[in-house]
């Protein structure tokens, strides 16, 4: 992508309404624009990151055999009356009437919708277990939408639902999701700690929140110090095997969100206790037959008897994660993207676009990077070098290749690692070998 053609409306001034780094940086880097309170448009740069995050989430859901589908954003109110949640949900639910005066709502989550689909389609215990998910926009009319995409009213969520014959099966589904979540967040360069959590309006008796530690987080948490430097080596796990030992290992030590904190355990931990703030990026629930019973979702068992299915639901805040990654990865100059979620891998800075040698070298580099599938953002604008450095630091592309006339005379370009700030001169060939390797 050529920056001269790219729609990336950066801001020099810090927007007054933004209180935390991620909100500030997303506005300044031209990633999002507010439409109304808690509702945002995703501009090209922000949308690229959203898609990268969505893709990692999707790959890790697929890896545990969870099947992707797509349910609508608008749901009929009657479904929510069946589960008794229509009145319970209160003013957070956006209620709509269609032209026939039918009561509809913009879905804040999809338990009712998926249970309705399941009960109409699945008859036999042989068809279980089932794991289904979708990645779809949700609406919750939050009292205090704030911090940009972190607490929005419209937000993108991955929500998955499991259907099992019995509690042991439901536990296996829960464990798959638990491990999948650890892997998902690790791939984004984040360390998300699984914490005992309250299950809230969703109900149920087993629930974990996945929380990233950050000073600007909205949740107050407490955990054992060991979580801070616990190794997260999860790539070689057999996802079809018994995952209970892994779940046990990650839940053996104390980690709890605010509502679940236990003063006695905390006293006993002494110096091993850490209290901190965090961002909830995922939340998983086992709720047994709460919805299946209310809505009549049962299958025929081996002896012809009716078995009400055991369910769980599993959410990831996909759009919130964009902000959460920035909270975890930024410095005074701007965003520092972890490579897997970076909007581009390489920023190519042409320091003198009116110099034919510089431009020829840049065009060559740009074509080679593109040809090797490396996503490059080429700053070919007729701007001062200082502006280019500041913008590229702000948008946080992991590698910068800086091309200027003086270096070129010696046959070298400068390569900067945005993460460490290290910069060094290299021949064009060795820079390319490193970036395309």
Residues making contact with ligand 5CA (CB under 6 A): 109, 111, 140, 142, 151-152, 155, 157, 159, 202, 280-283, 285, 313-315, 317, 319-320
Min dist CB 207 to ligand 5CA, Å, is 9
Helices (H) then strands (E): counts for the chain: 14, 23
DSSP, collapsed to helix, strand or coil, labels residue 25 as helix
Min dist CB 189 to ligand 5CA, Å, is 17
Tell me the residue number closest to ligand 5CA, measured at CB: 317
Strand partners for 135: 158
Min dist CB 397 to ligand 5CA, Å, is 25
DSSP letter for 131, please: E
Cβ closer to ligand 5CA: 87 or 332? Answer: 87
Min dist CB 253 to ligand 5CA, Å, is 21
Min dist CB 212 to ligand 5CA, Å, is 10
Cβ closer to ligand 5CA: 42 or 389? Answer: 42
Cβ closer to ligand 5CA: 204 or 396? Answer: 204
Min dist CB 376 to ligand 5CA, Å, is 31
Min dist CB 11 to ligand 5CA, Å, is 23
- Give the rounded distance of the alpha carbon of 342 from its chain centre: 13
In which residue are the tokens 């913008």 written? Answer: 391
Question: What residues contact 70, with CB distance under 8 A and at least 6 apart?
Answer: 134, 135, 136
DSSP output for 33-67? EEEETTEEEE-HHHHHHHHHHHHHHHHHHHHTTPE
Cβ closer to ligand 5CA: 41 or 265? Answer: 41
Q: In the numeric block, which tokens belong to residue 263?
A: 């003063």
Min dist CB 309 to ligand 5CA, Å, is 17
Residues 51/247, Cβ–Cβ less than 8 Å: no
Cα–Cα–Cα angle for 137, 323, 204, rounded to 5 degrees: 55
Min dist CB 72 to ligand 5CA, Å, is 16
Cβ closer to ligand 5CA: 278 or 315? Answer: 315
Give dist(CA 316, CA 102) in Å, integer: 31
Cβ closer to ligand 5CA: 92 or 166? Answer: 92
Cβ closer to ligand 5CA: 193 or 408? Answer: 193
Cβ closer to ligand 5CA: 139 or 399? Answer: 139
Q: Where are the beta strands (DSSP E) in 265-422?
A: 273-288, 298-300, 306-308, 310-317, 330-331, 334-335, 346-350, 376-379, 399-403, 412-417
Min dist CB 138 to ligand 5CA, Å, is 7
Cβ closer to ligand 5CA: 111 or 310? Answer: 111
DSSP, collapsed to helix, strand or coil, labels residue 162 as strand
Q: What's the alpha-carbon Rg for the chain, to the nearest Å?
A: 24
Q: In the numeric block, which tokens belong to residue 287?
A: 């709720």
Strand partners for 300: 124, 306
Cβ closer to ligand 5CA: 155 or 250? Answer: 155
Helix axes 428-436, 356-371, angle to 10 degrees: 20
Cis peptide before 129 (omega within 30 of 0): yes
Residues 313/161, Cβ–Cβ less than 8 Å: yes
């Amino acid at each position: 992508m050529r920056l001269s053609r790219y729609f990336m409306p950066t801001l020099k001034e810090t927007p007054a309404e933004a209180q935390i780094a991620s909100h500030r940086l997303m506005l300044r880097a031209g990633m999002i624009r507010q439409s109304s309170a808690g509702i945002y448009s995703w501009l090209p740069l922000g949308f690229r990151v959203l898609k990268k995050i969505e893709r990692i989430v999707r790959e890790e859901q697929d890896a545990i055999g969870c099947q992707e589908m797509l349910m609508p954003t608008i749901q009929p109110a009657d479904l929510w009356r069946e589960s008794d949640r229509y009145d319970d949900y209160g003013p957070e639910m956006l209620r709509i009437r269609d032209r026939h005066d039918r009561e509809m709502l913009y879905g804040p989550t999809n338990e009712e919708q998926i249970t309705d689909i399941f009960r109409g389609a699945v008859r036999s215990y042989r068809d279980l277990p089932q794991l289904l998910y979708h990645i779809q926009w949700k609406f919750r009319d939050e009292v205090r939408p704030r911090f940009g995409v972190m607490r929005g009213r419209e937000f993108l969520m991955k929500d998955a639902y499991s259907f099992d014959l019995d509690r042991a099966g439901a536990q296996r589904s829960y464990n798959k999701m638990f491990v999948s979540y650890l892997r998902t967040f690790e791939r984004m360069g984040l360390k998300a700690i699984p914490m005992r959590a309250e299950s809230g309006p969703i109900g149920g008796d087993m629930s974990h929140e996945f929380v990233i530690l950050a000073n600007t987080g909205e949740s107050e948490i407490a955990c054992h110090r060991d979580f801070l430097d616990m190794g997260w080596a999860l790539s070689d796990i057999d996802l079809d095997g018994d995952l209970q030992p892994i779940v046990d290992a990650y839940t053996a030590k104390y980690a709890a969100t605010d509502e679940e904190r236990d003063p006695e355990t905390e006293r006993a931990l002494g110096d091993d206790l850490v209290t901190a703030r965090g961002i909830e990026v995922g939340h998983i629930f086992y709720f047994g037959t709460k919805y299946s019973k209310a809505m009549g979702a049962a299958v025929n068992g081996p002896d012809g008897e009716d078995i009400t299915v055991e369910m769980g639901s599993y959410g990831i805040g996909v759009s919130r994660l964009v902000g959460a990654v920035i909270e975890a990865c930024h410095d005074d100059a701007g965003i520092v993207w972890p490579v897997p979620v970076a909007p581009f891998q390489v920023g190519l800075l042409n320091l003198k676009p009116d110099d034919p040698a510089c431009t020829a070298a840049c065009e060559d580099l740009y074509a080679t990077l593109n040809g090797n599938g490396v996503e490059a953002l080429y700053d070919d604008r007729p701007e001062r070098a200082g502006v280019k450095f500041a913008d590229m630091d702000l948008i946080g592309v992991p590698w910068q290749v800086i091309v200027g006339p003086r270096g070129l005379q010696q046959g070298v370009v400068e390569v900067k690692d945005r993460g460490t700030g290290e910069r060094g001169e290299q021949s064009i060939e060795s820079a390319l070998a490193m970036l395309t390797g």
